Structure 1
Amino acid sequence: MVSNQLLELENFIHQLPVEDKLWLLGQIMVQLRQGAETINGRDKAADIQYDATAKPIWEIAVEIGANIPESEWEKVPSDLSKNFDLYQN
């Protein structure tokens, strides 16, 4: 079950511009990587098991992208993939 705090957070994130959402996603990924490496001094990667029922990440990305208005997509630089490092600041 999803907590009320998470639902409020989701609503807040929905209102953010695309640039802020991308920044937040990057921060979450950094924390997940750090947390996945070790938990309580254990190598957590050894405990990860394949879940054939899990939705592929690309499907999740497509679903998220479908919820972003076209006007927000138009704000994303056309050269973002080539110059990603320039846009991270």
Structure 2
Amino acid sequence: MTTSSMPCARPRLLAIVFKAPPQDQAAAQAAAQSGKLSQDIQLPLGTDGLASTLDGKPLDPQAIANEQKKLQDQLQQAAEKARQQLNANPAPAQ
């Protein structure tokens, strides 16, 4: 019998854990009696491709700022247009 020094090839997982309140009355009562007022919800996420993402080219902060400015301008224009339409067509008095 031989042993190998190579590690097992297991998929690596990252788990995100949320604290959630009980969903129904019976679970809420049981949780209150046990002193545990929340339950853990685990979401396992595969880490395949994470290294290549982290090792990739970083985002350009100036490009991000420009994109945010562009989106903000679009939102302001849409709000102004909606405001003008609302002022042009006021709701009838009741």
Give 1 or 2 for the bigger CA radius of gyration.
2
Higher relative contact order (CA 8 A, sep 6+): 1
Indicate the structure with greater strand content: 2
- TM-score category, normalised to shorter length: under 0.3
The TM-score with structure 2 as length reference comes to 0.27
Output the TM-score relative to the length of structure 1. Answer: 0.28
